């Protein structure tokens, strides 16, 4: 009887031990499974990132980003208007030595005001031409950043008949203007010409100087005021004013911020 009882105890212990071995987790196996799972997830994430980086849409996004950066870099580059008037060469008061029209804006008596957008370095400006009030001719450089406009100094051309006693432009005359960088410093000078395209012409050239307060100091300075006949030509640092019918001309070269006539 005692042998049977002992055998029964042994059998129960064996069963409990066997059950415990089946239900207890294998820490080594579980740890290996977790490491394998993490490795697979990392591999899948890497493949996904590589696929995204090489996708056409992502290339488009990268190119768009680079294009935006390039546009930001180039936005600081000075841009001057290069458009010219669509007029015949015979009506042009400002020409190149090749015979092309260089005028960018034109105003005639009886017409509405016209304007020429300009940029001197980083300073935006606008030339406004028209009929002044109550009389006279309007020629103003307006600076939108300061809401101020300075009239151009149009003195020094007293021998011309372009304007009447009230300062108004005569019938048959017109005013044209253009921008040209005579000294190649990146900031263009302003040329204003009034003439009849035949025998009478007034020419003014203006430079821009940076100032502390546009409301108090006029940054536009007259550099040249002369008279001519039919038209002028621009050639690098030179302004050429032909006269007569024998190919004669007056030449003015812009040197050290001033116009000089070469000694013949």
Reference 120, options 211, 21, 24; nearest CA is 211
User: Which residue has 């008061």 as its token pair?
Assistant: 93
Distance of CA 29 to CAs 33, 34, 216, Å?
A: 6, 9, 85
Structure tokens at 2: 């005692």
Peptide bond into 134 cis (omega under 30): yes
| pLDDT number for residue 248 | 87
User: Closest Cα partner for 109 from 190, 192, 194?
Assistant: 194
Question: Rounded to a whole number, what is the distance in angstroms from the first to the last CA of the chain?
Answer: 147
What pLDDT band is residue 183 in, cutting at 50, 70 and 90? Answer: very high
Q: Is the pLDDT of residue 149 over 60?
A: yes
Stretch among 11-15, 80-84, 116-120 having the lowest mean pLDDT: 11-15
Question: What is the pLDDT, as a whole number, of residue 27?
Answer: 42
User: What is the pTM assigned to this prediction?
Assistant: 0.69
The whole-angstrom distance between residue 237's C-alpha and the CA centroid of its chain comes to 24
Structure confidence at residue 243 (pLDDT): 87
Q: Are strands 189-195 and 174-180 parallel, antiparallel or unpaired?
A: antiparallel
CA 132 to chain centre: 31
């Amino acid at each position: 009887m005692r042998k049977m009882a002992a055998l029964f105890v042994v059998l129960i212990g064996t069963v409990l031990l066997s059950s415990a071995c089946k239900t207890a987790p294998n820490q080594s196996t579980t740890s290996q499974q977790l490491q394998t799972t993490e490795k697979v997830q990392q591999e899948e994430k890497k493949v996904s990132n590589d696929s995204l980086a090489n996708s056409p849409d992502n290339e488009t996004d990268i190119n768009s980003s680079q294009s935006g950066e390039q546009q930001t870099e180039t936005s600081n580059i000075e841009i001057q208007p290069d458009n010219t008037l669509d007029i015949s060469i015979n009506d042009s008061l400002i020409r190149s030595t090749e015979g092309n029209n260089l005028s960018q804006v034109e105003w005639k008596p009886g017409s509405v005001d016209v304007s020429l957008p300009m940029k001197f370095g980083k300073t935006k400006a606008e030339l406004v031409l028209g009929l002044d009030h109550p009389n006279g001719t309007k020629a103003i450089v307006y600076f939108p950043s300061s809401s101020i406009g300075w009239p151009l100094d149009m003195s020094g051309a007293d021998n011309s008949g372009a304007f009447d006693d009230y300062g108004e432009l005569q019938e048959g005359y017109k005013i044209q203007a253009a921008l040209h960088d005579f000294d190649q410093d990146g900031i263009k000078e302003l040329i204003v010409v009034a003439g009849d395209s035949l025998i009478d012409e007034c020419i003014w050239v203006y430079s821009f100087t940076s100032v502390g307060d546009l409301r108090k100091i006029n940054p536009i300075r007259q550099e040249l005021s002369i008279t001519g006949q039919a038209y002028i030509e621009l050639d690098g640092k030179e302004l050429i004013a032909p006269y007569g019918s024998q190919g004669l001309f007056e030449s003015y070269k812009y040197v050290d911020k001033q116009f000089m006539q070469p000694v013949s």
